[in-house]
Amino acid sequence: MAKATKKQALGRGLSALLKDPDNDIKSASDKNADKVVGNIVELDIEDIEINPFQPRTNFNEETLRELASSIRELGVIQPITVRKLAFNKYQLVSGERRYRASKLIGNSTIPAYIRIANDQESLEMALVENIQRQDLDPIEIALSYQRLIDEIQLTQEQMSDRVGKKRSTISNYLRLLKLDPIIQTGMRDGFISMGHGRAMINIDNQIDQLEVYEKIITSKLSVRATEALVKNLNNPKTVVKSETIEIPKPIKKGIKEFSEYFGHKIDVKVAKNGSGKISIPFHSEEDFNRIIKLIKSAK
């Protein structure tokens, strides 16, 4: 307990140092900068503004309230990171959830690490530090990687060094941005996993992507089942023409009646010797049981 009190007192002392207008610290070479930069400083929340470069856009209200409750009981365990803009003016680099949760319970101060950086460095720090977080969804991570490419002009090799991830991992995230926006939203909302998304990347046509996405949701397909579905879509089985003939008109008429009766499009194949096969599709266990009842009732 004594150790924590000493740490908080130190933060308040450094905060007072920052409020001395005659010795305003503007760069890392200024007097007393070494006492502030890299140390934990207790800053007034009202002196901190949101970072416009923040890659995170979704904040779950329930988990934010849970974090606020934890901060009320234990305090902010992991300090936020800010950059100094001007005298008594700071901007968030990382830690927006802790910042928001602290404001939610009415805290007037928050422990922070102070960095002195320009806008580009601030953006890079925000993106790289946020990528390391465990609670970002795959699309948020992919968008952060894309911003590092577009706005910082980093190559995938450079990103690999900065964030400590394999280039192949970075590439897999970036490819998710090729998915239809509806599918990206589904991934952000937790309806499908990154594994589902990676399987659908291999579908070039976005209409086909959406059809597969709908099947994943309605049939609750696993990633493995989705991969099989995509494989069949991209490599449909070809019918050997030598084994089948054109379906005779009487049978075609029967197919229509079959389809109307079962409520599905019935597939019929007829061989040269006159034999054939009827396929009745079903979309769920409930649908399968419905078809069985129809067959039994026809006896």
Active site residue 96: yes
Choosing from 61, 66, 96, 124, which is the catalytic residue?
96
Report d(CA 104, CA 110) in Å as an integer: 12
Q: Classify the C-alpha dihedral 111-115-118-124 as positive or negative.
A: negative
Contacts of residue 48, defined as CB under 8 A and 6 or more positions apart, other chains included, come to 80, 82, 90, 91, 92, 99, 110, 112
Comparing C-alpha atoms, which of 36, 47, 37, 42 is closest to residue 7?
42
Q: Contact at 8 Å (CB) between 111 and 11?
A: yes
Q: Contact at 8 Å (CB) between 71 and 107?
A: yes
Helix (H, G, I), strand (E, B) or coil at 20: coil
Residues that are catalytic = 96
